Amino acid sequence: MTDKPMDPSGAPLYPIREVSRLTGVNSVTLRAWERRYGLIRPQRTPKGHRLYARNDIQRVERILQWLNRGVPVSQVRDLLEQPEAPEAPIDDSGDWAAQRRQLMASIEALDLVRLEALYNQSLALYPVATCLAELWEPAIGELEEHWSDQLGATLQRRTLESFLRTRIGTRLYHANLASAGPVLLVSRLPDDPGALWSLLFALLAADAGFRVQLFDTPLPLGEWPLAVERLKAGALVLVSGQAERNELIRRQLPRLAEQLSVPVCLVGPVTRIRASEVESSALEALGELPTVAIERLRPLVT
């Protein structure tokens, strides 16, 4: 005998928390897909709790496949109704491009109300990795090209950092309470002009099940071993969009990596700029973008 809910055919039913665990899609997003777009239709208990059948879970996995191909969530329902998914890639870049333009315009205009709405909408409707890959990473990358010679660039950058720090910090707090995963120490390196990329990486790492300790400013190199020990970290992740000093990359960080019993990882353009030097050292180069880096990090941290 089992007390697990069953549908009339005798197949098991799953609560939303279990579907979230199986698919990696958080419960807020699952509810948004149901209410706003009718993508899934779970059953309900007499008290109104959602129960999902196995075919609902398979449907969620199909939704993720379309989203990972760059299809906007508003267009997924029609594709799901097709007998067979088309093999040819679908060009839906216009929708993502429009969202990126809106995001960049709100940042450039310092329109925090619009920025709040775009932030909440994007993370409610899409998995974090898709949201970052299609919207936030390319938008911030393009903004940084403009910021190099634009009046008001520092104001825009600092405003966006402040905005993201507050909201991502809240998500990290709640994610850390719910996670039993390995601890990551995440910090930008000294020459990085801001914390944007470390914030995005921290958000993605928390969504991937890591417990993230995010440092707003870099620690002195000599204190990282103590931080790793006291915070029981599984890895140290250092982020930078700059080349960083020769002494740091060629000597100090490799020496730190040799001292620590956990991986010392680099994320951001520094991994491309310093590829030859990092490759021959004890450092782990995870890649330029957070969405690439998190996949390379998984096998390094147990």
- State pLDDT tens for residues 24-33: 888 888 988 9
Which contacts of 205-209 are long-range, i.e. CB under 8 A and separated by 24 or more positions?
A: 205/237, 205/294, 205/297, 206/171, 206/172, 206/175, 206/176, 206/179, 207/26, 207/127, 207/128, 207/129, 207/175, 208/181, 208/294, 208/298, 209/179, 209/181
Lowest mean pLDDT among 63-72, 224-233, 269-278: 63-72
Contact 79, 59 (CB under 8 A): no
Helix-helix angle 54-68:16-23, to 10 degrees: 40
CA distances for 218 relative to 43, 185, 222, angstroms = 49, 11, 11
Any residues with CB less than 8 A from the CB of 62 and at least 6 apart, and which? 80, 85
CA 19: distance to chain centroid?
A: 19
Count other C-beta atoms under 10 Å from residue 233's C-beta.
23
Residue partners of 116: CB distance under 8 A and separation at least 6 = 163
What sign does the CA torsion over 140, 142, 148, 150 have?
A: negative
Give the pLDDT band of residue 87 (cuts 50, 70, 90): very low
With 0.95 as the threshold, say if the pTM is over it.
no
Domains of the chain: 14-80 (1.10.1660.10), 93-158 (no CATH), 179-300 (3.40.50.280)
The count of other CB atoms within 10 Å of the CB of residue 266 is 26
Q: Which of 92, 127, 175 is nearest to 291 (CA)?
A: 127
152 dihedral zone (left: phi>0; alpha: psi -120 to 50; beta) = left
Q: What is the pLDDT of residue 85?
A: 46
**What is the rounded end-to-end Cα distance, in angstroms, of the chain?**
36
Q: Residues 33-74: pLDDT tens digits?
A: 988 888 899 998 888 889 999 999 999 988 888 887 777 788
